[in-house]
Structure 1
Amino acid sequence: MARRRLAVVLLGAAQVLVVFDTTAFAMALPWISARARMSVDGLTWLITTYSVCFAALPVLAVALGEAFGQRRVLMGGLVLSSAAAAASGVTQDAGVLLTSRAVQGVAAAAITAGAVALIESTHPEGRSRDRALSVHFVVVAAAGPAVVLPSTMLLSTMDSGAAVFWAQAVVGALLLLLVPVALTESAPGPDARSRVGRAAAAVLPLGFLAWLADWLGDHSVSPTTITAVAVAGALTPSSLSWLGRRGDEPSLFTRLYRERAALGAYTVMALLAACLAGASLVLTIALQILGGLSPESVGWALLPAVAGLVLGWLTLPVLAARVGLAATVAVACGMAAAGFVLLSLGGRSYHLADVLPPLLLLAYGCGVLALPVSFTRSGSGALPRGLNSSRQLGAGLGASLFVGVLTVVEQGTSMSYNDHKTYQAVLSGAFRDCFELGVALALAAAAVALLTLPWQGLRTTAPDPGVSDGAPAGTAGSPGSSGR
């Protein structure tokens, strides 16, 4: 039991390290810009490169773990993460920085894919695994707003962006040493290696989609256009599932083809992950430029989002048990949309008092990201690993989309930061466009939930048909969970 708890803590820490990398890197961009003498375009490429790699590789990372062992994949991700962080800390070369961000994206995909699979391999089916997965997903969901404060405190204390990268490298190395102690290797599945090549076929369309999201963001600020791209991205796994009819793809795609509710679960996760990632990124910038807050104050301002996510994690399953998963998820998505609406009405000033209520609404709605067990118990056929991959894909898409919207506005104006009032007015419009995009994405997720997810209440006292010890047949950890 103690070893299982250690495994949950260790895997949660590994996922927090991934989120810390993304957040701390964004906070260190001014230091990177001055040190490497990079333009806005160059900085945007650093974010885009990471997002594309992170969004493109979840399916391949899962397949590699099934073929060669999930612990090996996790350890490989930690090695790459530490090496890339160290490179970012010592270099002043823009090309090396770009390469290190690509490597970090690969590392993040490997760590994220390995974490959920290793929880499954270290916990038997039933309540133990359900609790571990539930805790893991809420930690991952809350990590985004939670790590802003320690990132900014580290930057302020050390007065150097290099400290962030060295801290990441050291923590990654420590986790790498602990992994063999706390985690046992998962057994490779039969014929798993033969599926690696087919899973690799998903890399190109997913990577292209993440890049296209950024490109469209750079060339259009129309929320309608970009929402269409985001929804297409969230539906990509189901499009690839057509190949699964002949058994040519991993079981996730085959299951998506067969089950409408599973398609809905994965799509909602991707769309809400895009909302949360984009909102965190935009608010971090808006609170500094328009709200006049210091980076450390921004960290404190975003902390209430953690409370909102945890509250959603605690209350949404109870609501789903009474009124059904479809209605619960749709209401949560509607609350996230309401939060975005309030943020878009914020005008030219984003002070803490203005941001707190909508941030809590948005975070509570995104508490759906912490509910993989509720999705599997609903009989939707959704797999925890697939839900994690969808969240990963959505987060990458969200970062690309929202950064693209901000970039095109800044590039389209000749105003400089010295003309402070005009610059703020222009950027306030860009932030409003981003929040309107968030409204559209959240409402799209609500519509998908109503059209695809089960309407009946979830049974909490007895298992659903086809459920073994509280886990649906075919979910991760059962014989059909990984295409074995």
Structure 2
Amino acid sequence: MARRRLAVVLLGAAQVLVVFDTTAFAIALPWISARSHLSVDGLTWLITVYSVCFAALPVLAVALGEAFGQRRVLMGGLVLSSAAAAASGVTQGAGVLLTSRAVQGVAAAAITAGAVALIESTHPEGRGRDRALSVHFVVVAAAGPAVVLPSTVLLETMESGAGVFWAQAVVGVLLLVLVPLALTESAPGPGARSRVGRAAAAVVPLGFLAWFADWLVDHSVSPTTIIALAAAGALTPSSLSWLGRRGQEPSLLTRLYQERAALGAYTVVALLAACLTGAGLVLTIALQTVGGLSPESVGWALLPAVVGLVLGWLTLPLFAARAGLAATVAVACGVTAAGFVLLSREGAGYQVADVLPPLLLIAYGCGVLALPVSFARSGSGALPRGLNSSRQLGAGLGASLFSGVVTVVLIDLRSMTFHSAKEYNAALADRVPECFELGVALALTAAVVALLTLPWQGVRTTSPDPDASDGAPAGTAGSPGSSGP
């Protein structure tokens, strides 16, 4: 029992390290820009290359873990993470820095994929595994807003961005030493190696999605166009599955409809992960540039989001048991959309008191990200590993999409003439709401997907009887083809 708890702690720490890397890097961007003499476009590329690698590789990382051992994949990710962090600490060259960010994206994908799989392999089926997965998912969801404050404190204490990277490298090495002591290697699954090739083929379309967001920025596409394309793209799979509801359409549409609940669960998780990532990214920028807050004050301002996420994690399963999964998830997505609406309204302020209510609403709705077991019990066949990969994909896409809208806004402002910093900040304040409008669109799209695809019956909040699962893993409630009504 003690070793299993240690495993949960170590795997949670590994995931927090991934989030810390992203957050600390974003906070250290001014220091990186001054040291490496990078333009706004160059800094955007540093964010984009990480996001593309992080979003493109989750499926392949899971397949490699199933074929060669999840612990090996996790340890490989920690090695890459520590090496890339050290490289970021010592180099001043833009090329090396760009390469290290790409390696960090690969490392993040490997660490994220291995964590959930190792929880499953170290915990027997039943309530113990369910609790471990539930705790892991809420830690991962809450890590984003939680690590902003320690990242800023560490940056200011060390007075150098290099110190943050070295701290990350040291933590990675410590985890690398502890993982073999607490975790046993997972056994390769039957036929797992044959699935690696198919998983590798998924890298191209997933990477394309993340790259496409950056392509839109390069072509100066308006924020409205980015919002419309993002919402339409997210709705496409669910719309195709709905077309196959009569079973008389082409077999692909019929199969999509049969698996609509799993498809919907994965899509909702990806969209909400994009919302949570984007909210943190844009608020970090807005609170500093428009609100005039210090980085440490921004960390304090985002910390209440952890409370909202935990409240969502605690209460949403109770609502799902009574009102059904589809209605509960749709309402949660609506709450997230309402938070973005408050941030995007005309004249919205960017001080702590202004952002606290909408931030709590966004975080509470995104508590859905901490419900993998409830999703699995819906009868959808949506497995925690797949939901974790979807969260990873959504976080990568969210970083690309929201940073893309921010970049469009900054490019537009650069073409204008301002006589003072006050005029520039006022113009920026008028344009920041466009960034949050993307969050409104993504959250509402997630609500529509939930209503179209997820089952309406109540979801059990206690573990099912393992003997009644016909051999299916606890919490899966059936095969991927056993969708809800």
| TM value normalised by structure 2 | 0.91
- What is the DSSP-based 3-state SS (H/G/I as helix, E as strand, rest coil) of the residue aligned with 2:11? helix
CA shift digits 1:76-134 (9 cap, x unpaired) = 00000000000000000000000000000000000000000000000011101100000
Against the structure 1 CA distance between its residues 186 and 351, is the aligned structure 2 distance closer, same or farther, given a 3 Å change threshold? Answer: same
Against the structure 1 CA distance between its residues 328 and 146, is the aligned structure 2 distance closer, same or farther, given a 3 Å change threshold? Answer: same
- What is the DSSP-based 3-state SS (H/G/I as helix, E as strand, rest coil) of the residue aligned with 2:434? helix
Quick check: 14-23 or 343-352, which moved more? 343-352
Residue 426 of structure 1 and its aligned partner are, at CA, apart by 2.9
Q: Within 1, Cα distance between the matches of 2:179 and 2:452? A: 42
CA shift digits 1:167-206 (9 cap, x unpaired) = 1000000000000001000001122111111110000111
Confirm or deny: 8 A CA contact 1:227 1:441 kept in the other structure.
Answer: no
Indicate the residue corresponding to 1:334 in structure 2. Answer: 334
RMSD (CA atoms):
2.4
Confirm or deny: 8 A CA contact 1:24 1:151 kept in the other structure.
Answer: yes
Confirm or deny: 8 A CA contact 2:86 2:169 kept in the other structure.
Answer: yes
Residue 427 of structure 1 and its aligned partner are, at CA, apart by 2.0
- What is the DSSP-based 3-state SS (H/G/I as helix, E as strand, rest coil) of the residue aligned with 2:379? coil
Question: What amino acid is aligned across from residue 428 of structure 2 in structure 1?
Answer: L
CA shift digits 1:421-442 (9 cap, x unpaired) = 2221332233211111100100
Give runs of aligned pairs for residues 59-458 of structure 1, distance below 5 A. Answer: 59-218=59-218, 219-223=220-224, 225-229=226-230, 232=233, 258-345=258-345, 347=347, 349-412=349-412, 413-415=414-416, 419-458=420-459
Confirm or deny: 8 A CA contact 1:206 1:236 kept in the other structure.
Answer: no
CA shift digits 1:287-328 (9 cap, x unpaired) = 011111100000000000000000000000000001000010
* Number of residue pairs matched by the alignment: 466
Residue 462 of structure 1 and its aligned partner are, at CA, apart by 7.4
Q: Within 1, Cα distance between the matches of 2:235 and 2:174? A: 35
Against the structure 1 CA distance between its residues 237 and 6, is the aligned structure 2 distance closer, same or farther, given a 3 Å change threshold? Answer: farther
CA shift digits 1:395-420 (9 cap, x unpaired) = 00010011111111212233578731
Question: What amino acid is aligned across from residue 149 of structure 2 in structure 1?
Answer: L
Q: Within 2, Cα distance between the matches of 1:65 and 1:301? A: 38
Residue 461 of structure 1 and its aligned partner are, at CA, apart by 5.4
- What is the DSSP-based 3-state SS (H/G/I as helix, E as strand, rest coil) of the residue aligned with 1:379? helix
| TM value normalised by structure 1 | 0.91
Residue 234 of structure 1 and its aligned partner are, at CA, apart by 7.8
CA shift digits 1:207-230 (9 cap, x unpaired) = 011000122245223335434335
Residue 257 of structure 1 and its aligned partner are, at CA, apart by 6.9
Unaligned runs of 5+ in 1: 241-253
CA shift digits 1:432-464 (9 cap, x unpaired) = 111111001000000100111111111345739
Confirm or deny: 8 A CA contact 1:348 1:425 kept in the other structure.
Answer: no
Q: Within 2, Cα distance between the matches of 1:153 and 1:80? A: 25
Against the structure 1 CA distance between its residues 325 and 283, is the aligned structure 2 distance closer, same or farther, given a 3 Å change threshold? Answer: same
Indicate the residue corresponding to 1:471 in structure 2. Answer: 475
Q: Within 2, Cα distance between the matches of 1:156 and 1:55? A: 30
Question: What amino acid is aligned across from residue 396 of structure 1 in structure 2?
Answer: G
Residue 389 of structure 1 and its aligned partner are, at CA, apart by 0.5
Against the structure 1 CA distance between its residues 417 and 9, is the aligned structure 2 distance closer, same or farther, given a 3 Å change threshold? Answer: farther
Against the structure 1 CA distance between its residues 335 and 137, is the aligned structure 2 distance closer, same or farther, given a 3 Å change threshold? Answer: same
Quick check: 333-342 or 412-421, which moved more? 412-421
- What is the DSSP-based 3-state SS (H/G/I as helix, E as strand, rest coil) of the residue aligned with 2:435? helix
Q: Within 1, Cα distance between the matches of 2:76 and 2:236? A: 29
Against the structure 1 CA distance between its residues 127 and 418, is the aligned structure 2 distance closer, same or farther, given a 3 Å change threshold? Answer: farther
Q: Within 2, Cα distance between the matches of 1:449 and 1:427? A: 34
Quick check: 299-308 or 412-421, which moved more? 412-421
Q: Within 2, Cα distance between the matches of 1:192 and 1:228? A: 35
Confirm or deny: 8 A CA contact 2:133 2:372 kept in the other structure.
Answer: yes
Confirm or deny: 8 A CA contact 1:406 1:430 kept in the other structure.
Answer: no
Asked if residue 13 in structure 1 is aligned to residue 13 in structure 2, the reply is yes
Q: Within 1, Cα distance between the matches of 2:36 and 2:397? A: 26
Quick check: 422-431 or 281-290, which moved more? 422-431
Confirm or deny: 8 A CA contact 1:145 1:306 kept in the other structure.
Answer: yes
Against the structure 1 CA distance between its residues 68 and 255, is the aligned structure 2 distance closer, same or farther, given a 3 Å change threshold? Answer: farther
Confirm or deny: 8 A CA contact 1:217 1:403 kept in the other structure.
Answer: no
Q: Within 2, Cα distance between the matches of 1:41 and 1:470? A: 47
CA shift digits 1:346-375 (9 cap, x unpaired) = 626301111000100110000000100110
Against the structure 1 CA distance between its residues 375 and 81, is the aligned structure 2 distance closer, same or farther, given a 3 Å change threshold? Answer: same
CA shift digits 1:52-94 (9 cap, x unpaired) = 0000000000000011000000000000000000000000000
Q: Within 1, Cα distance between the matches of 2:336 and 2:286? A: 18
Q: Within 1, Cα distance between the matches of 2:408 and 2:95? A: 23
Q: Within 2, Cα distance between the matches of 1:386 and 1:264? A: 12
Q: Within 1, Cα distance between the matches of 2:307 and 2:55? A: 27
